[in-house]
Amino acid sequence: MRLSRAHTPPTPRAKRPQPTLPEGEREHLKAEVVYWGLKQAQQGRLLSEAELQAEYDRRLREAEHWLRQSKDLLQQEYDRRLHDAEQWLRERKEQREQREEHQAPHASAPGAAPASPPSRILTRRNVLKVLGLSATQVAAAVAAVKLSGNPAPASADQGPPPVDGSDEPDVTKIDHVKLAAENAGHSLYGKFPGATKNPYPNHLELLFPKAAEPAKAGRVREFSLEAQDKELEIANGVRWAGWTYNGTIPGPVIRATQGDTVRVHLKNSTRHTHSVHFHSVHPSNQDGVFEPVAPGAETTYEFTADPFGVHPYHCHIEPLDQHVARGLYGALIIDPPKPRPPAREMVMVMQGYDLNFDKENELYSVNGLPGYYDENPIELKVGELVRIYLINMTEFDPVNSFHLHANMFSYIPVGTSLTPNVLTDVVHLGIADRGILEFRYKFPGQYMFHAHQTELSLLGWKAQFHVT
Ligand SMILES: [Cu+2]
């Protein structure tokens, strides 16, 4: 059931009066009509979209008519009450001054508390409350009416509405049917904006790592990382000022075989100090903690790949949570000397985005693109061995998880063994924990995988396999 955004029946648009109801109020009205439609349906009267649209148009016309009428009345009433209140304040002040004149000797006694200034009793909000308007009418009126007089500072409770779309502070009184109607029936939470339509191509390449190679004595693997500030569209219409390695979040996959010499060149092209701290075994001076790389500077890390497994790497400059949460992390895969059996291999780094810097994430995903692999399922073949190198780099949440639908996977914690220790369909990982998943799909079809913390799933960490 969808109501058109234009709210226009097929009559010429120019003949309609200019709408004055703010967009937010029109959305609210739309939800009310959907709710009304649901109620009608419950009573056995199914309404067509045209009927719902007509009802919506009728209510919109009424509301806009009311708004135009009440605008002048509201202004007059506001002016009158403001005048009355200011008169009352003046009188009170005069009375107090007269009292203070009589009590002057006592008031000036040592230790006497100074007289407190009169507290402001008039705010726009209070005036509107006095006028007996409902919360939604207040919102419409505040937006539509330019009030005269001294504007009072906005009170603290005039912040943005809660994300669940309810303005009812008592959660036991929330009308969940209405709330679902406001969210188009999909959920009781604020809508996920959808995946980005413009993924940065290098981001998509992160999913499929280069193949493993058997051990070879004396081999050196060289990699270049450049710390770059980069603005990325991470979800539909959501832009993120990322701190990145090579322009992607997570950074590129670094893959070597146990025993290889790994040489990683870091160039810092940002305005902040950064580093690379690899998990796995290496000397202290290659740990990327005590040797910060200043803006414009370069350094090279070198170590012998050991032990085989899947490991994270990340910046280790304070404040550490910010440097990680902004996007400076990636996957280091160290393969066993004799590689694991051939498989369709993927790397998935679970992570989140703290969009408003309140140390809680607003979006989640694997490989930096919330909802992307839900809208663009990953193709698999029936019976093929699938191997996922999974790492949790979600800052601020103590745990993240991976749940596979309609199947079970073998799990190798940290990837440091050749044999799995469990067959399961869900694994929960603390921050920086990781492992290897292996599975085959027996039946063709569409299969979800996602965080089993459903909140994370609603906020983007869900995806699908399409098996043929
Ligand atoms: Cu950093």
**Burial class of residue 412 (count of CB atoms within 10 Å of its CB; 0-12, 13-18, 19+):** buried
Q: How far is it, in rounded angstroms, from Cα 70 to Cα 453?
A: 48
Kindly give the distance from the C-alpha atom of residue 459 to the centroid of ligand 1, in angstroms, as a whole number: 26
Is 187 among the domain residues? Answer: no
Kindly give the distance from the C-alpha atom of residue 231 to the centroid of ligand 1, in angstroms, as a whole number: 16
The domain in which residue 427 lies consists of 203-467
Kindly give the distance from the C-alpha atom of residue 395 to the centroid of ligand 1, in angstroms, as a whole number: 14
User: Is the model's pLDDT at 107 over the cut of 70?
Assistant: no
Q: Please report which residue ranges of 135-200 form alpha helices under DSSP H.
A: 135-144, 176-182
Q: Which pLDDT tens digit goes with each residue over 253-281? A: 999 999 999 999 999 999 999 999 999 99
Q: Which pLDDT tens digit goes with each residue over 308-348? A: 999 999 999 999 889 999 999 999 999 999 999 999 999 99
Kindly give the distance from the C-alpha atom of residue 324 to the centroid of ligand 1, in angstroms, as a whole number: 7
Kindly give the distance from the C-alpha atom of residue 87 to the centroid of ligand 1, in angstroms, as a whole number: 60
Kindly give the distance from the C-alpha atom of residue 78 to the centroid of ligand 1, in angstroms, as a whole number: 54
Question: Per mean pLDDT, which range of 26-30, 58-62, 134-138, 421-425 is the poorest?
Answer: 134-138
Kindly give the distance from the C-alpha atom of residue 464 to the centroid of ligand 1, in angstroms, as a whole number: 32
Kindly give the distance from the C-alpha atom of residue 196 to the centroid of ligand 1, in angstroms, as a whole number: 26
Looking at residues 238-263, what average pLDDT do you find?
96
Kindly give the distance from the C-alpha atom of residue 323 to the centroid of ligand 1, in angstroms, as a whole number: 4
Band (176; pLDDT cuts 50, 70, 90): low
Kindly give the distance from the C-alpha atom of residue 149 to the centroid of ligand 1, in angstroms, as a whole number: 50
In terms of average pLDDT, the best of 10-19, 27-36, 213-222, 232-241 is 213-222
Kindly give the distance from the C-alpha atom of residue 82 to the centroid of ligand 1, in angstroms, as a whole number: 54
Is 65 among the domain residues? Answer: no
Query: Tell me, what's the pLDDT at 121?
Result: 39
Is 402 among the domain residues? Answer: yes
392 and 367 Cβ atoms separated by less than 8 Å: no
Q: Which of 391, 364, 386 is nearest to 463 (CA)?
A: 364
Kindly give the distance from the C-alpha atom of residue 328 to the centroid of ligand 1, in angstroms, as a whole number: 6
| End-to-end Cα, the chain, rounded Å | 32
Is 324 among the domain residues? Answer: yes
Query: Tell me, what's the pLDDT at 169?
Result: 58
Kindly give the distance from the C-alpha atom of residue 302 to the centroid of ligand 1, in angstroms, as a whole number: 19
Kindly give the distance from the C-alpha atom of residue 417 to the centroid of ligand 1, in angstroms, as a whole number: 31
Kindly give the distance from the C-alpha atom of residue 297 to the centroid of ligand 1, in angstroms, as a whole number: 13
Kindly give the distance from the C-alpha atom of residue 293 to the centroid of ligand 1, in angstroms, as a whole number: 9
Is 439 among the domain residues? Answer: yes
Kindly give the distance from the C-alpha atom of residue 249 to the centroid of ligand 1, in angstroms, as a whole number: 13
Kindly give the distance from the C-alpha atom of residue 333 to the centroid of ligand 1, in angstroms, as a whole number: 21
Kindly give the distance from the C-alpha atom of residue 317 to the centroid of ligand 1, in angstroms, as a whole number: 5
Is 59 among the domain residues? Answer: no
Q: Is the bond preceding residue 307 a cis peptide, omega within 30 degrees?
A: yes
Kindly give the distance from the C-alpha atom of residue 316 to the centroid of ligand 1, in angstroms, as a whole number: 6
Query: Tell me, what's the pLDDT at 143?
Result: 35
Kindly give the distance from the C-alpha atom of residue 248 to the centroid of ligand 1, in angstroms, as a whole number: 14
Q: Which pLDDT tens digit goes with each residue over 397-415? A: 999 999 999 999 999 999 9
Kindly give the distance from the C-alpha atom of residue 322 to the centroid of ligand 1, in angstroms, as a whole number: 8
Q: What is the largest CA-CA distance in the chain?
A: 100
Report the residue count for the chain.
468
Band (20; pLDDT cuts 50, 70, 90): confident
395 and 324 Cβ atoms separated by less than 8 Å: yes
Kindly give the distance from the C-alpha atom of residue 320 to the centroid of ligand 1, in angstroms, as a whole number: 7
Is 459 among the domain residues? Answer: yes
What's the total number of domains in the chain?
A: 1
Q: Which of 298, 225, 287, 212 is nearest to 255 (CA)?
A: 212
CA 358-138-31 angle, 5° bins = 75
Q: What is the CATH number of the domain that holds 459?
A: 2.60.40.420
In terms of average pLDDT, the best of 51-65, 94-108, 138-152, 242-256 is 242-256
Beta pairing, strands 309-314 & 329-335: antiparallel
User: Is the model's pLDDT at 5 over the cut of 80?
Assistant: no
User: Is the model's pLDDT at 10 over the cut of 50?
Assistant: no
Q: How far is it, in rounded angstroms, from Cα 180 to Cα 16?
A: 31
Mean per-residue pLDDT over the chain, rounded:
81
Neighbouring residues of 330: CB distance < 8 A, sequence distance ≥ 6: 245, 250, 251, 252, 253, 254, 312, 313, 314, 349
DSSP letter string, 256-315? EETTPEEEEEEEE-SSS-B--EE-SS--GGGSSSSS-B-TT-EEEEEEE--S-EEEEEE-
Q: How far is it, in rounded angstroms, from Cα 145 to Cα 149?
A: 13
Kindly give the distance from the C-alpha atom of residue 193 to the centroid of ligand 1, in angstroms, as a whole number: 29
- The protein residues having their C-beta less than 5 angstroms from ligand 1 (an ion) are 274, 315, 317, 323, 328
Query: Tell me, what's the pLDDT at 454?
Result: 87
Kindly give the distance from the C-alpha atom of residue 275 to the centroid of ligand 1, in angstroms, as a whole number: 6
Is 96 among the domain residues? Answer: no
